[in-house]
Amino acid sequence: MKLGHPLPTPAVDLGLLLARVLIGIVLIAHGWQKFATYTLDGTAQSFDLMGVPAPQAAAVFAAVVELAGGTLLLVGLLTPVAAALVVLDMLGAFWFAHRSAGVFVADGGWELVAVIAALAVAVAAAGPGRASLDHAIDRKIAA
């Protein structure tokens, strides 16, 4: 392996799988939290206090994107669509909830939402890898 050259395909697939699984778990947990712990009404109230436009609709969007988008990324299905929606969700979280709090998540900062958005962009750009439903469907269609 030379510096600046891609890793062998199995290593890339493993890296993409790990990225998808980790981002999926984090998103599913946050989406579920909005539904079950905070409730959609509670999430909407928090969003309203942060100045999020249409807080009720934004709460539903965030909860659904995080739960469904996280699940889709975890299994590697409709990866570009799921990633785009996750990035949009994280941009909203950055802008309305975290940008004024600095970098560190312990202070309410934006580092977590930035890392999630960056991982979603990276997975969308690289593709979900061979250990994904997208790859399995593509192979079946090509056959």
Enumerate residues 6+ apart whose C-beta is below 8 A from 27: 65, 66, 67, 69, 70, 73, 86, 116
Q: What is the pTM of this model?
A: 0.92
What's the distance, Cα to Cα, between the start and end of the chain in Å? 32
pLDDT at residue 47 tops 90: yes
Q: What is the dihedral of CA 43, 83, 134, 130, to 10 degrees?
A: -120
pLDDT tens digits along 57-101:
999 999 999 999 999 999 999 999 999 999 999 999 999 999 999
State the pLDDT at residue 4.
73
